[in-house]
Amino acid sequence: METSLKMDVPVQHSLLDSTNQNIISRPIDRVEGPLKVSGQARYAAEFKLPGMAHGVLVGAQIGKGSVARIDAGGVEAMAGVLGVVTDFDLFLRNSAQGMATEAPCQGVREIAYFGQPIALVVATTFEQARHAAQALEVTYEKGEGRFDFDAEQGKAQPKDSTLSSQGDIDAALAQAHGRVDGVWTTPSQTSAAMEPHASLAHWEGDSLVLYGSYQMLSTNRMQLADALGLDIEKVRIRAHYVGGGFGAKLGIAAESVAAALAAKALGRPVRVVMTRQQVFETTVRRSNTRQRVRLAADTDGRLTAVAHETLTANLDGEDFSEPVSAATKFLYGGANRTFGNEIVRMDQVLSGSMRAPGEAVGMLALEGAMDELAEKLGLDPVELRLRNLPDRHPGSDLPFSSRSLAECLTIGARDFGWPRRNRQPAATLDGEWWIGLGMAAAARSNMLIKSSARVSLQPDGRALVETDMTDIGTGTYTVLAQITAELLGLRVEDVAVHLGDTTFPPASGSGGSFGAASAGSSVYLACEKLREAIAGQLGGDVDTLVLSDGMARMGNISVPLADLDTGPLDATATIEPGETGENFVQAAFGAHFAEVGVNAHTGEVRVRRMESTFAAGRILNEKTATSQCYGGIVFGIGGALTEEMIHDTRHGAIVNRDLAEYHLPVNADVPQLKVRFLEERDHAANPLLAKGIGELGISGAGAALANAVYNACGVRVRDFPITLDKLIADLPDLP
Partner 1 sequence: MQMTLAINGADHALDVDPRTSLLDVLRDHLDLTGSKKGCDHGQCGACTVLLNGRRINSCLTLAVMHEGDEIVTIEGLGTPDALSPLQAAFVAHDGYQCGYCTPGQICSATAMLAEIKAGWPSHVSDDLEGAPELSAAEISERMSGNICRCSAYPNIVDAIADVGRDRS
Spatial CA neighbour of 441 closest among 587, 625, 308? 587
**Does the footprint of partner 1 cover residue 667 (CB under 8 A)?**
yes
DSSP notation for 262-324: HHHHHTS-EEEE--HHHHHHHS-BBPPEEEEEEEEE-TTS-EEEEEEEEEEEE-TT------T
Which CB atom, from 368 or from 638, has the smaller least distance to partner 1?
638
Choose between 240 and 691: whose C-beta lies nearer to partner 1. Answer: 240
Helix residue spans in 136-168 (DSSP H):
149-152
CB of 47 to partner 1, least distance (A): 9
Nearer to partner 1, 198 or 364 (CB): 198
Q: Report the alpha-carbon distance of residue 414 to residue 408 in Å, rounded.
A: 10
Residue 35 in contact with partner 1, rule: CB under 8 A:
yes
- Which of the ranges 315-323, 437-445, 454-462, 467-475 carries the binding residues for partner 1, by CB under 8 A? 467-475
In sequence order, what are the residues at sequence separation of 6 or more whose Cβ sits closer than 8 angstroms to the Cβ of residue 619? 25, 625, 677, 690, 693
- DSSP of 361-379, one letter per residue? HHHHHHHHHHHHHHHHHT-
Instruction: Kindly tell me which residue out of 184, 434, 630, 677 binds partner 1, with binding defined by CB under 8 A.
Output: 630
Distance CA 696, CA 363 (A): 11
Interface residue with partner 1, options 36, 423, 491, 601 (CB under 8 A): 36
275 binds partner 1 (CB under 8 A): yes
Q: How far apart are CA 274 and CA 558, in angstroms?
A: 56
Residue type, 67: V
Which residue among 177, 623, 676, 726 contacts partner 1 (CB under 8 A)?
A: 623
| 276 touches partner 1 by CB under 8 A | yes
Is cis: bond before 104, omega within 30 of 0? no
Stretch binding partner 1 (CB under 8 A), from 215-223, 398-406, 426-434, 653-661? 653-661
Q: Is 658 in the site for partner 1 (CB under 8 A)?
A: yes
Q: How far is the CB of 38 from partner 1 (least distance, A)?
A: 5
- Is 242 among the residues that bind partner 1 (CB under 8 A)? yes
- C-beta of residue 138 within 8 angstroms of C-beta of residue 58: yes
Taking CB under 8 A as the rule, does residue 657 contact partner 1? no
Q: Does 672 bind partner 1 (CB under 8 A)?
A: yes
How many residues are recorded in the chain? Answer: 735
Q: Does 246 bind partner 1 (CB under 8 A)?
A: yes
User: Does the footprint of partner 1 cover residue 472 (CB under 8 A)?
Assistant: yes
Give the burial class of 335: count Cβ atoms within 10 A of its Cβ; 0-12 exposed, 13-18 middle, 19 or more buried.
Answer: middle
Minimum distance of partner 1 from residue 241's CB (angstroms): 7
Return the closest-CA partner of residue 613 out of 636, 589, 631, 637: 589
| 701 neighbors 592 (Cβ within 8 angstroms) | yes
What lies within 8 Å, CB to CB, of 170 at 6+ separation is none
Q: Which of 486, 595, 611, 695 is catalytic?
A: 695
What are the residues whose beta carbons fall under 8 Å from the beta carbon of 681, sequence distance 6 or more?
14, 17, 402, 617, 618, 689
* Residue 313 Cα to chain centre, angstroms: 19
Nearer to partner 1, 64 or 592 (CB): 592
Task: Select 448 or 472, whichever has its Cβ closest to partner 1.
Answer: 472
Q: How many residues bind partner 1 (CB under 8 A)?
A: 63
Q: Of 4, 627, 649, 723, which one interacts with partner 1 (CB under 8 A)?
A: 627
Candidate residues 11, 23, 24, 45; the one interacting with partner 1 per rule CB under 8 A: 45
Scanning 392-434, the segments in alpha helix (DSSP H) are 405-416
145 versus 473: smaller Cβ distance to partner 1: 473
Of 45-53, 174-182, 345-353, 708-716, the window that binds partner 1 (rule: CB under 8 A) is 45-53
Helix axes 254-266, 217-228, angle to 10 degrees: 50
- Interface characters, 5-34, with partner 1 (x: CB under 8 A): ------------------------xx-xxx
* Backbone dihedral angles phi then psi of residue 682, each to the nearest 5 degrees: -115, 105
Among 2, 46, 380, 532, binds partner 1 (CB under 8 A): 46
Q: Does 496 bind partner 1 (CB under 8 A)?
A: no
Kindly state the smallest distance separating residue 40's Cβ from partner 1, in Å.
6
Tally of CA atoms within 13 A in the half-sphere of 380 that contains its CB: 13
Under a CB-based contact definition with an 8 Å cutoff, are residues 526 and 693 in contact?
Answer: no
Encoded one letter per residue, x for contact with partner 1 by CB under 8 A and - for no contact, window 184-213 reads: -------xxxxxx-----------------
Binding part of the chain for partner 1, among 137-145, 235-243, 533-541, 567-575 by CB under 8 A, reads 235-243
491 in contact with partner 1 (CB under 8 A): no
244 belongs to the binding site for partner 1 (CB under 8 A): yes
Minimum gap (Å) between residue 217 Cβ and partner 1:
16
Q: Smallest distance from the beta carbon of 620 to partner 1, in angstroms?
A: 14
Q: Do 236 and 314 contact (CB within 8 A), yes or no?
A: no
Among 474, 613, 686, 699, binds partner 1 (CB under 8 A): 474
Is 659 an interacting residue with respect to partner 1 (CB under 8 A)? yes
Q: What single letter denotes the amino acid at residue 147?
A: F
Binder to partner 1 among 147, 184, 214, 241 (CB under 8 A)?
241
Q: Is 695 a catalytic residue?
A: yes
In the complex, what is the shortest distance from the CB of residue 44 to partner 1, in angstroms, rounded to a whole number?
11
491, 560, 666, 730: residue in contact with partner 1 (rule CB under 8 A): 666
Window 104-163: residues binding partner 1 (CB under 8 A)? 125-128, 131
Which residues, 6+ apart, have CB-to-CB distance to 299 below 8 Å? 177
Regarding 38 and contact with partner 1 (CB under 8 A), the answer is: yes
Of 35 and 562, nearer to partner 1 (C-beta) is 35
Residues 6+ apart with CB under 8 A from 404: 589, 615, 678, 680
| Of 645, 659, 650, the residue nearest 114 (C-alpha) | 650
CA 329 – CA 340 distance, rounded (Å): 11
Q: Which CB atom, from 25 or from 404, has the smaller least distance to partner 1?
A: 25
Task: Report the interface residues with partner 1, using CB under 8 A.
Answer: 29-30, 32-43, 45-46, 48, 125-128, 131, 191-196, 241-244, 246, 273, 275-276, 472-475, 623-624, 626-628, 630-631, 633-635, 658-660, 664-673
Q: Where in the sequence numbering do the catalytic residues fall? A: 695
